[in-house]
Amino acid sequence: MSSQSNYIKLIDRFWIWTQNINRELINGSVPFIDRRTLQSVRAQLLDLANMVKDEYPFFSDELLGIASVLFGGGIGSSYSINPSAFGELFIIIKNLKIEPFNLALWNTIHPRIKNSSFGLYADGHFGPAAEKAIKEVEQRLRDIFNQVRPTSVEPKEATEIVGALLSENGAYPVSNWKTPSEKSYGRGVKLLFEGFLSSYRNPISHGNRDISKQEAVEQISLASQLMHVLDKGSANLQTARDQEV
């Protein structure tokens, strides 16, 4: 998808244009456009179809079809508009105006991640939305650390908190570490948290990095998964007390 601003601007332009044409049709007029406008609208329809092909593949296919049949025969230097094709275009543009990004993803996202990131994502700010999700995971780990080890000094590095909480003798295990499969799962979860924070959180702390919508979706989804993993953990109070000593 093109940049968020170009995408939204294109939808806005189409929204204004389709409203104007729709008013003419409602008033009983037969809209005509010149050749330059025809070429511009057709080119922009193709651009829009390309921009939404990942987000709304059905709309993308329909826009490609509409571009080829939207305009009818010309009278002199003017061209008519196919009312049927225009009606379909109007509905698509209206839907894109209301929801320019497919938000179905958020039905399965952890509530804490949704609360922190949804608004930014819905406005098309994908990088900041992913950054918020990553920071929310780190904050959750810090909150757990302070709950289970209230008298300990909170480590500065998030990966140190992961070790204190999620290792085999950690204060907040998500596995009981008894069987080989449980030990494997526990080690894997610990490595997953460490990798997540090292790969995504640390670069963010040293300056913003532009990321694509796809990268943002992947990071937000992983942040959500990690939150759900933490939901399954429980404080090992004896270990926590031993570590306080």
User: Residue 240: pLDDT band by 50, 70, 90 thresholds?
Assistant: very low
Q: Where are the alpha helices (DSSP H) in the chain?
A: 4-26, 35-51, 57-69, 83-98, 111-122, 126-148, 158-166, 180-196, 202-205, 213-231, 237-244
Query: Does 93 have pLDDT greater than 90?
Result: yes
One DSSP character per residue, 193-223 reads HHHHIIIIIHHHHT------HHHHHHHHHHH
Element (H, E) at 78: strand 78-81
Of 84, 40, 51, 80, the closest CA to residue 66 belongs to: 84
Residue 105 has a pLDDT of 86
pLDDT averaged over every residue in the chain: 88
Relative to beta strand 78-81, strand 71-75 is antiparallel
User: Residue 75: pLDDT band by 50, 70, 90 thresholds?
Assistant: low
Q: How far apart (Å, rounded) are the C-alpha atoms in residues 50 and 7?
A: 10
Residue 225 has a pLDDT of 96
Residue 2 has a pLDDT of 45
User: Residue 122: pLDDT band by 50, 70, 90 thresholds?
Assistant: confident
Query: Does 56 have pLDDT greater than 90?
Result: yes
Six-digit token string for 109:
């996202």
Residue 37 has a pLDDT of 92
- Mapped onto helix, strand or coil, the DSSP state of residue 3 is coil
pLDDT in tens, 128-168: 999 999 999 999 999 999 999 888 899 999 999 999 999 98
134, 204 Cβ separation under 8 angstroms: yes
* Number of other residues whose CB lies within 10 A of the CB of residue 44: 16
Query: Does 245 have pLDDT greater than 50?
Result: no
The residue with greater pLDDT, 41 or 233, is 41
Query: Does 58 have pLDDT greater than 90?
Result: yes
- Across 55-80, average pLDDT: 89
- Across 48-70, average pLDDT: 94
Residue 242 has a pLDDT of 54
Residue 202 has a pLDDT of 60
pLDDT in tens, 191-239: 999 999 988 876 555 455 568 888 999 999 999 999 999 998 887 755 5
Considering the chain, what percentage of its residues have pLDDT values greater than 70? 89
For residue 59, give every residue at least 6 positions away whose Cβ sits within 8 Å of its Cβ, in sequence order, or none: 49, 52, 92, 95, 96
User: Residue 104: pLDDT band by 50, 70, 90 thresholds?
Assistant: confident
Six-digit token string for 143:
């909150």
- Across 77-88, average pLDDT: 91
Query: Does 97 have pLDDT greater than 80?
Result: yes
121, 216 Cβ separation under 8 angstroms: yes
Q: How far apart (Å, rounded) are the C-alpha atoms in residues 31 and 13?
A: 18
Does this model's pTM top 0.85?
no
